């Protein structure tokens, strides 16, 4: 058994590359099944967010090249282009990486909590696809347990620091008084929900939520006294919006340069602050070329995020120690699990020998044998048969120079080193 974590993230790849390697929710089940069918991976899960696309795999033997080739082919990329920004972690390092991801230690925003929910969703989708088995399933459960311990026992999650919070913090720097501003939020997912909550807490004048379905937009809008519209209504509300923050799963841009130019004219070139959190991007990059538009992507939020991380830095070390402990514990249990099959086979062998000797003893009794003699023969026969194979193997190994086999056998059979040795072997 071998674990692999392979992928790209905000540290290794630009937003342009990340959006090309992203998986849509509709693609995941088919992609997972194809991944297991076309590569040596027996179990697989895919985590795809705006900041990372990662594959978590269990294989019989480590084989990352075929997986990298599959990922490149699936997204129609050059494998060399992908290899230049991809990373591969194996075995214990893969376990540690997955736990660090779940705890927010590998996130753009240190300790951000959304990634754990995204990892749980990745696990649920993999189960739906039938690509999670007992080994990867155990790793996910151990990862969730470690993440829970980190959240409970450290301050890594204290103080609201997230991409959503960073976007609102930047808006506050540009607009001194949010009480006079209107925000247009495009999308209705978890990130936009967090943005709406932060804006509402800051007392913004008005929030408009635009989404592909009005029902979903209305559900979110009701929580914050906001107004819900469809994506097609964006041109009507854009001219009245000072802040635009977008995060959808659309594969094509939702807001183009022409629509923003038109809105600016109606606003008499009053500035618009825009943050595009989506990958692939929701707002055409050319919009950033317009005067009176301040357009930021997720990569641009680094500086704002860094300022809000200071309170979490101390907790990060404690979290790393918990992750190390969680990794060690999982690997130990995994090694114990590896011994189960051997122990099971050994027990089955011993039970066959027992049954053979017992059957022989029963036949002797049926033929009128003396019970005491039969029991003595049963004990001798069973002892001899149980010791035969280990004795032969031990002599062979030591004859070949494997003297370590003696100390290993002494430890395995819990033998007292001070016990008298068989003189016949000296």
pLDDT in the model for residue 79: 95
Q: Mind telling me the catalytic residues?
A: 50
Pick from 138, 11, 16: nearest CA to 87: 11
pLDDT in the model for residue 424: 44
Q: How far apart are CA 126 and CA 55, in angstroms?
A: 11
Inter-axis angle of helices 92-102 and 114-129, nearest 10 = 120
pLDDT in the model for residue 69: 97
pLDDT in the model for residue 161: 66
Residue 182: alpha-carbon gap to chain centroid: 37
Binding-site residue ranges for NADP(+)? 187-192
pTM: 0.62
Strand order in the sheet with 243-246: 227-230, 206-211, 182-186, 243-246, 272-276, 293-297
In sequence order, what are the beta bridge partners of 342?
none
pLDDT in the model for residue 417: 56
Binding-site residue ranges? 49-52, 107, 112-114, 118, 187-192
235 neighbors 210 (Cβ within 8 angstroms):
no
Domains and CATH numbers, the chain: 2-158+313-333 (3.30.460.30), 163-291 (3.40.50.720), 348-410 (no CATH)
Pick from 298, 275, 303: nearest CA to 287: 275
Local mean pLDDT, 10-residue blocks, the chain (426 residues): 94 94 96 97 96 96 94 96 96 97 91 91 97 96 97 80 83 86 95 93 94 96 96 95 95 95 94 94 95 91 72 85 96 84 84 90 91 91 88 85 81 68 45
pLDDT in the model for residue 77: 94
Binding-site residue ranges for substrate? 49-52, 107, 112-114, 118
């Amino acid at each position: 058994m071998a674990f692999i974590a392979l992928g790209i993230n905000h540290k290794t790849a630009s937003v342009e590359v990340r959006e090309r390697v992203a998986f849509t929710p509709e693609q995941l089940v088919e992609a997972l099944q194809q991944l297991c069918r076309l590569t040596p991976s027996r179990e697989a899960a895919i985590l795809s967010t705006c900041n990372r696309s990662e594959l978590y795999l269990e294989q019989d033997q480590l084989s990352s090249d075929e997986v990298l080739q599959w990922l490149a082919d699936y997204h129609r990329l050059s494998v060399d282009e992908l290899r230049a920004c991809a990373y591969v972690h194996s075995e214990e390092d893969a376990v540690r990486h997955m736990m660090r991801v779940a705890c927010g230690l590998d996130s753009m925003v240190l300790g951000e909590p959304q990634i754990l929910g995204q990892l749980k969703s990745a696990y649920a989708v993999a189960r739906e696809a039938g690509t999670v088995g007992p080994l990867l399933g155990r790793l996910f459960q151990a990862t969730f347990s470690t993440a829970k311990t980190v959240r409970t026992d450290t301050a890594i999650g204290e103080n609201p620091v997230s991409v959503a919070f960073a976007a609102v913090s930047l808006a506050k720097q540009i607009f001194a008084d949010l009480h006079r501003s209107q925000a247009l939020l495009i999308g209705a997912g978890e990130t936009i929900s967090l943005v709406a909550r932060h804006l509402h807490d800051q007392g913004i004048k008005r929030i408009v939520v635009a989404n592909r379905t009005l029902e979903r937009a209305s559900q979110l809008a009701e929580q914050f006294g906001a107004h819900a519209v469809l994506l097609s209504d964006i041109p009507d509300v854009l001219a009245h919006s000072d802040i635009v923050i977008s995060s959808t799963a659309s594969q094509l841009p939702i807001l183009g340069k022409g629509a923003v130019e038109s809105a600016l004219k109606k606003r008499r070139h009053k500035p618009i602050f825009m943050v595009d959190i989506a990958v692939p991007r929701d707002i055409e990059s050319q919009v950033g070329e317009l005067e009176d538009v301040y357009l930021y992507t997720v990569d641009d939020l680094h500086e704002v995020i860094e300022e809000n991380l200071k309170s979490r830095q101390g907790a990060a070390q404690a979290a790393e120690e918990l992750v190390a402990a969680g990794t060690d514990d999982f690997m130990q249990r995994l090694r114990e699990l590896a011994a189960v099959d051997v122990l099971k086979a050994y027990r089955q062998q011993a039970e066959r020998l027992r049954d053979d000797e017992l059957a022989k003893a029963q036949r002797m009794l049926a033929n009128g044998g003396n019970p005491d003699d039969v029991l003595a023969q049963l004990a001798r026969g069973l002892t001899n048969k149980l010791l035969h194979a280990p004795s032969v193997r031990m002599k062979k190994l030591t004859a070949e120079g494997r003297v370590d086999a003696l100390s290993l056998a002494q430890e395995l059979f819990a033998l007292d080193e001070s016990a008298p040795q068989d003189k016949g072997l000296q």
